[in-house]
Structure 1
Amino acid sequence: MKVVSCVRRELLSIVDLYGRTSRGPERRWFTLWQMSAVRVCLSPTREL
């Protein structure tokens, strides 16, 4: 579980950086990807 939290933290930092630099349709798609990725990380039954 510690590994998952570390990965999630790293993912969120990448998302934050990307969100600041990108604009337009790219950002919209990245937001969708971000939401699905976080959902997978939060899901206890799934394993990466």
Structure 2
Amino acid sequence: TKDNTMFYVCGWQGTVDGTMDYLKNKNFVTEKNKREDGSYEVKFESYG
């Protein structure tokens, strides 16, 4: 659940995009789009 899960996604852009699509559909929030209280569950970086 979002209450006890944190993701760090890294890799090629296609891998990151696919993973992010899946997580966003499950309502996980990224560091770049933090909630008003500053919380998030997903941090990511891409290699190209």
TM-score (norm 1): 0.40
The higher relative CO (CA closer than 8 Å, separation ≥ 6) is in 2
Higher share in helix = 1
Larger radius of gyration: 1
TM-score (norm 2): 0.40
